[in-house]
Amino acid sequence: INMAVFPGLQGGPHLHQIAGIATQLREVQTPEFHEYIQQVKANCRRIGEVLTDAGYVMCTGGSDNHLQLWDLRPTGITGSKMELVCDQASITLNKNAVFGDRSALSPGGVRIGTPALTTRGFKEDDFKLVADLINECTILAQDIQKLSGPKLVDFKKTLETTKELKERQTSIRSRVNRLAESFEFYSEID
């Protein structure tokens, strides 16, 4: 009877989870958190606006929260390829399926979150710079795919073996690193 009930159907209170939830509930009641979350949303709107102005398609026409879901299908590249190029340029975003995708293994979009950079002090103007760097990554990914064809394995190989493409990727990464270094990594907690 005991094996039938626990752990499949019953579990005890996990005090570390309860403490984490209680701590978060206390934090979200502070004026500082309200100011922070408003900045997170403003930053998210800004990066979506800049990318949309550059001709890209944000799912649902934009965002009212902390992340943008970007439909990359009109660009001709997959979320997997965009994630790879951005990752190698020290930009973190995640491949993500978008409405109409046939397979989550080859997703048609990426999601871009704003809380981490907002925590470091980025404001709307800084997110314009981030969007510009992501735009350069998109153009780089399209150029790689022109040479490699549609397969991800060939895409990776082309990026690694084509000097001009590798130099462009390195240039983007150095500008990303300079921008990141101009902000605190963390601040002291009172």
Q: Model confidence at 59, in pLDDT bands (50, 70, 90)?
A: very high
pLDDT of residue 3: 67
The yes-or-no verdict on residue 175 having pLDDT over 50 is yes
The pair of structure tokens assigned to 4 is 């039938």
**79 half-sphere exposure, CB direction, 13 A CA radius:** 21
DSSP the chain: -HHHHTTTT-----HHHHHHHHHHHHHTTSHHHHHHHHHHHHHHHHHHHHHHHTT-EEGGGS-SSSEEEEE-GGGT--HHHHHHHHHHTT---EEE--TT-S-TTS-SEEEEE-HHHHHTT--HHHHHHHHHHHHHHHHHHHHHHHHH-S-HHHHHHHHHH-HHHHHHHHHHHHHHHHHHHTS-S-----
Total Cβ atoms within 10 A of residue 120? 15
Backbone phi, then psi, for 58, in 5-degree steps? -90, 135
How many whole angstroms separate alpha carbon 58 and alpha carbon 55? Answer: 10
Percent of the chain, pLDDT > 90?
Answer: 84
49 versus 103: the higher-pLDDT residue is 49
Pick from 36-40, 100-104, 175-179: least confident: 100-104
Q: Using CA atoms, how far apart are residues 26 and 10, in angstroms rounded to an integer?
A: 28
* Residue in this structure with the two tokens 């150095």, named with its chain if needed: 174
pLDDT for 54 equals: 97
